[in-house]
Amino acid sequence: MKKLINQTRYRCDFCRKEYCTEAATARHEHRCGSNPQNEFACGCCVFLKEVEKEIESEYTDYNGEPIIRKKRGFFCLSKQQRLYPVSAERKGLVDKYPETFEGEEIMPKECSSWDFSKRAVMPELPTGVVEYTK
């Protein structure tokens, strides 16, 4: 057994996670939930719903029809707006697959509609927007 002393450790600037290498720490800081760059107001908000999102694949089926895949998306009942998470932008997905995020807005950092109370008056999902089920 070796006792390691005086080792260099790196700590995230935003939370207190520690890593052995600078690269690992930088990678973590980039996606750290405590990094203000990654903040969004929708967490715990009653108006945020998981909804189905249809993504047209570049491939077609035997009949030449485009293959539609169902994915999980987000919808704000208060704003009546489809949303995508901050992580999608951070990972560069929004630039890479703009058609996947068409008509959607990034989850806001601050929101005047944010509510966690169960008594909130819940607007309906508009027609055509379906709640996501696994």
How many C-beta atoms lie closer than 10 Å to residue 48's C-beta? 20
Is residue 15 a contact point for Zn ion (CB under 5 A)? yes
5, 21, 23, 32: residue in contact with Zn ion (rule CB under 5 A): 32
**Residue 89 class from Cβ within 10 Å (0-12 exposed, 13-18 middle, 19+ buried)?**
middle
Contact pattern for Zn ion over residues 103 through 132, marking x by CB under 5 A: ------------------------------
Stretch that binds Zn ion, among 28-36, 39-47, 51-59, 66-74 (CB under 5 A): 28-36
Site size with Zn ion, rule: CB under 5 A? 5
Residue 63 beta carbon to Zn ion: minimum distance, rounded to whole angstroms: 49
With tokens 């909804």, the residue in question is: 51
Strand (E) or helix (H) holding 74: strand 66-76
Stretch that binds Zn ion, among 26-34, 67-75, 84-92, 126-134 (CB under 5 A): 26-34
DSSP 48-67: EEEEEEEEEEEEE-TTSPEE
Binding site for Zn ion (CB under 5 A): 12, 14-15, 17, 32
